[in-house]
Amino acid sequence: MEILNEKNFNEKTEKGVVVVDFFANWCGPCRMMSPILEDVQEELKDKVKIYKVDVDESENLARKFGVMSIPSIFIFKDGEMVDKSVGLIMKDVLVDRINKHI
């Protein structure tokens, strides 16, 4: 999964439905979230793009979106944040939330 930073974030989230996972490598729940996101990407291939933002590498982005706990999952539609969840989220719940915006 591609990792976004301050330079490419706006470009990658400006069109369509995009899920962004704010994470850190040292975060246990974040590591548990990765295979769930991979499954969601596989299931919704052409309908959604999923990216990650390393909060340690992109502190300004984390601050901009008010990320206080990780994993934080944001759903963007055409550049606007339309949904947010904090903590581990199960695949079926995430798919339902994404489908509301497709």
d(CA 49, CA 60): 22
Catalytic residue among 19, 20, 30, 61: 30
DSSP 3-state assignment of 34?
Answer: helix
- Residues with Cβ within 8 Å of 93's Cβ and at least 6 positions away in sequence, in order, are none
Q: Quote the tokens at residue 16.
A: 């369509």
In the residue annotation, 27 being an active-site residue is answered as: yes
DSSP 3-state assignment of 36?
Answer: helix
Catalytic residue among 27, 82, 86, 95: 27
Q: Cite the active site residues.
A: 27, 30
